[in-house]
Structure 1
């Protein structure tokens, strides 16, 4: 049997599922002729299927050294590297294949997905555009192109692509869900709700559609259905923290009757700060025989220790003995929280008295007039940070208001801006000396007002009962709801909403006007206090 005949037989074995025989025959062929690239490539495929990924990658590269123009080897290498999470190398392999043969829509589609994941959005857009041009009637390509455009915040164009995908394939649940997310960002919340509902009707197990629908329902005030669908968050698989696994059962909301309950954190700092309001209520229900434990992030622990009736333990340390457990953001569902029953009494957190005294002395020495803490950016890893963070420059207008002292309590990558503000406007920079949320809480106790973007500081101020004004994006996070200047969660909070996507001018104008009135009232109050006569004491 010649090598060519052996190769033909090996291919037949491979195609008929006789992988072991095919593998042995390819190995014999390569032993006879180390330059027979087709056998080397096909053996790489069999090794990849068996999990021998390093050997498979080496075989594909060896085949390419022998035949650099082999499309199959480039595509096989790209596919393997993608499976291994080596996205940059995979993109290089697919790009090489696309250069050799530009009219491969499937390869272009895969390359576009990789480039999108690498945040090379301009390149990805060009590649997806080529795939769509080659096969304009392929729904998946239109959907993927739309997802890229949405990531680039080209929402109108993205919506066109998703509608095209739906027209081509009316059963495409992913395109419906993507369309829902896109029109939601444009403020078309009812249209978004219908799209998510259609997506989950087509695919009842589509966790992303259930999760996204829950966010819209909470946004419009449908708490009953919203909290129920919010539980799909764990199956959605895109939360920053995974669902925990415990031997102890999950608490079902039944009477605690002396049982010990562990409440554990999930998602971001702000989420924890907002929903720990339920723990003092649980402590009262558990009674003297029960215990409420809260597991939380290290940086939050100092301020959360002020929760009455709650024992705080930090993540990474040993957990106490407990009988039942629950993630913190499932508490509204178990409490049956509706808009009219939100537990809104504040403060439910308090600052440490010793820290309050220390920071108050520093504030008295360095700041006069109306003391306003400011935060201009959230975490850059937050999925919506581009829309919610506004930067430090807009605060220059507030610094120019007579009688106002701005105080930086910003933490994170942009806190250094306070050392050299744009245009040099005056600001008291406390950021470098803030260690954790306990320091931030203590500083807030000495401030007259906090003005911030939608980030954890807003929740901390609200939980402390500190007056706080919050910049809210046009398409807001669900907890801020729609068309209201107040928050049902925080009585001391005032919301200043963006009037159009990407434009903060109106919100800044309204905050500036409101702050001018507040500063004027503050000066009047200080003047009245100074003019008040001192009453003598009769002997």
Structure 2
């Protein structure tokens, strides 16, 4: 049989899938005609197809030596070399192939796709990304390149130290677009978005992954966590239960379930879920933290303290452990320990300061501040500033010159309430000259020895309104019959902060829930409600005088509140304002009330004239409102007599 006939027979065997038969024929041909480059190439491909890459490399190299400059041969040599593990030689061969394919985009893309995969495997991620992007510019839907670029971008979300990179979301989002079917990418993208407080986007990432893998436990729990943050607790519970019903469910499924149960007010069930986790994993820190929170809301301060102490034994520098313990200690009235732990807030997300403030050292409260000057600044909400401004006169009595920086809406009120020599400016304005040391407002109780309830400076009023600003309100209020009762029924919804929004939903009322105040003899209601919730007056049966359009800041609100006989409201800044002005103030407090209202008391040492009406059942305002209606009826009758 002639050489050509043998070649034809070998090629037919090769095409029919008989690679071993084709290999034998190619070798027989090369015994007689060792210089046939094409046959060496075909032998290389036959052995490569049989997963014999070492033999393939030998044959392909011989073919290329005999007949250099064939792009396809160099491409396949690169593939064979990659399979032998000789990645550097593979990259060299593939680079030559890509150059030879410069005028053939589809083939160049194949060579580059192989190179990109090798570069990614070698950890040369920047080069891999560049190479794979070129592939997709040539062949936009190249499946292997899309997959490998997605993997490369996924890997680039973390640095060499394992920590998430600042540009992680950018890489993961593109990886998700390239390979939406890959659950781990959806999960990592969702987690990265959660860490950046992009909750709706995170939810979409988890749900996109679940469309392709509906029982994936990581994706389901990511979705549950996100739904809980968004206040959608029933859906969060359902997602967690889906995982718990699967064999071998991870411990964090029980934690996710407990978080949802807690949000629904199912506190006993939340305890059971967390105890089940801790029975299996006694040192599970997230379970201990959450159990501490639940015990606190159940009124078990000892149980909460035991959980937090265990957490801090296991992880002494865990900021969230100190932060949660601080609030629990303060709510229990243990101010000495509470304020010490409260200093850990600066290690928590959401407690950043502007760079100018951050650059100043913090006063330790021991020595006089440099030059006897101290910059005191707001750090949290308006209510916090209103409560803790009481400490500034103490500083002045110590001979310290104070400059105060607070929220814009408080500047005028604090200027009215503090000595004229005290500088009061807005947060973000230039720091006054000579002030080289600072103290946040909520750091003053620790530094000024408020270590027990009896040490709280409660000289009320400590806020003041000039008489000429009160007089116009006094005249307006004369037109209303009876006792004048201010009303604020809702807080700021905080759409930008889902956790704060969830708290606001628990603390706020819908105004029609207070319709039971209608018809109480001897009172007129006056609105102190600002913001979108003020529109609820249209759905209420109550008659309420509303001049809030004339209130531009807290100084205006103070002028009106100072002329009222009583202020009633949910836990908002207006309550602090009214109480600090010395007005009788009644607070409707949610079941998991703020730490500053302490535990189970109707009075409060921060504000001697304040009375608390507390929920005794999670989310149930009806008994609270019934008690309020009865109390205000008695109060009005007593005042009229």
With the length of structure 2 as denominator, give the TM-score of the two structures.
0.72
CA distance in 2, matches of 1:376, 1:507: 13
Q: Which residue of 2 aligns with 1:323?
A: 436
Q: Does the CA-based 8 Å contact 1:183-1:191 persist in structure 2?
A: yes
Whole-Å separation in 1 of the counterparts to 2:344 and 2:638: 48
Q: Which structure: greater helix fraction?
A: 2
Structure 2 partner of 1:202: 314
Structure 1 equivalent of residue 34 of structure 2: none
CA 1:240/1:460 → structure 2, altered by over 3 Å: closer, same or farther? farther
Name 1:380's counterpart in structure 2.
Answer: 493
2:188 is aligned to 79
Of stretches 12-21 and 447-456 in structure 1, the one that deviates more from structure 2 is 12-21
8 Å contact 2:396–2:402 — kept in the other structure? Answer: yes
Q: Report the secondary structure of 2:532's partner residue.
A: coil
Q: Which residue of 2 aligns with 1:455?
A: 572
Q: Residues 451 and 468 of structure 1 are in contact (CA less than 8 Å); yes or no, is this contact kept in structure 2?
A: yes
1:405 aligns with 2:561: no
**Separation of aligned partners in 2, 1:391 and 1:179:** 31
Aligned to 2:279: 167
What TM-score comes out, normalization by structure 1 length?
0.85
Q: Secondary structure at the match of 2:242?
A: helix
Q: Name the residue aligned to 1:358.
A: 472
Tell me the distance in 1 between the aligned counterparts of 2:305 and 2:270.
17
Q: Does 1:443 align with 2:549?
A: no
| Equivalent residue number for residue 272 of structure 1 | 385
Deviation at 1:328, TM superposition (A): 0.2
Does 2:415 match 1:305?
yes
Point out which structure has higher relative CO (alpha carbons under 8 A, 6+ apart).
1
Aligned pairs, how many? 511
Give the C-alpha shift of residue 243 in structure 1.
Answer: 9.1
C-alpha distance in 2 between matches for 1:78 and 1:478: 35
* Superposition map of 1:201-280 within 5 A: 201-239=313-351, 245-256=357-368, 259-280=372-393
CA distance in 1, matches of 2:515, 2:126: 72
Kindly tell me: are residues 355 and 7 of structure 1, through their superposed partners in 2, closer, same or farther at Cα, counting changes over 3 Å? farther
Q: Structure 1: give runs of 5+ residues left out of the alignment.
A: 65-70, 525-539
C-alpha distance 516-253 of structure 1, shift in aligned 2 (>3 A): same
Pick the aligned partner of 2:508 from 376, 389, 397: 389
Q: Tell whether the 8 Å contact from 1:372 to 1:451 is kept in structure 2 after alignment.
A: yes
2:545 matched residue in structure 1:
428
RMSD: 3.0
Equivalent residues of 1:259, 1:324 under 8 A apart? no
| 1:314 shift after superposition | 1.1
**Closer, same or farther: CA 389–305 of 1 in aligned 2, 3 Å:** same
Conserved 8 A contact 2:360-2:438: yes
> CA contact under 8 A between 2:591 and 2:618: conserved in structure 1?
yes
Work out which of the residue numbers 31, 40, 48 in structure 1 matches 2:146.
Answer: 40
Quote the residue 1:61 is aligned against: 177
Structure 1 position 493, deviation (Å): 1.3
Aligned CA distance change for structure 1 residues 32 and 97 (closer, same or farther; 3 Å): same
> In 2, Cα distance between the equivalents of 1:449 and 1:205?
45
1:345 aligns with 2:455: no
Cα offset, 1:81, TM superposition: 6.4
State the distance in 1 between where 2:457 and 2:475 align: 34
Taking a change above 3 Å as real, the CA distance of residues 104 and 361 of structure 1, as seen in their structure-2 partners, is same
Larger radius of gyration: 2
Query: What is the rounded CA distance, in whole Å, between the counterparts of 2:332 and 2:169 in structure 1?
Result: 49
Within 5 Å, which residues of 2 pair with 1:491-510?
491-510=608-627
1:30 shift after superposition: 6.7
Task: Between 354-363 and 162-171, report the one with greater CA deviation.
Answer: 162-171
What residue is the counterpart of 1:535 in the other structure?
Answer: none
Measured after TM superposition, the shift of residue 213 of structure 1 is 1.1
The CA deviation string for residues 497-523 of structure 1, in whole angstroms up to 9 with x for no partner, is 223222233333333333223222322
Distance 2:590 2:453 in 1: 21
Distance 2:411 2:130 in 1: 60
2:267 aligned to 155, 160, 163, which one?
155
Question: Does the Cα contact within 8 Å between 1:78 and 1:89 map onto a contact in 2?
Answer: no
Deviation at 1:196, TM superposition (A): 1.6
Secondary structure of residue in 1 paired with 2:439: strand
Deviates more, 1:39-48 or 1:451-460: 39-48
- Equivalent residue, structure 1, for 2:222: 110
Asked if structure 2 preserves the Cα contact closer than 8 Å seen for 1:449 and 1:468, the reply is yes
Contact 2:404 2:423 in 1 (8 A): yes
Tell me, which stretches of 5 or more residues in structure 2 are unaligned? 1-74, 88-114, 157-166, 495-499
Which residue of structure 1 lines up, in the alignment, with residue 101 of structure 2? none
Distance change in 2, residues 1:470/1:26 (3 Å) = closer
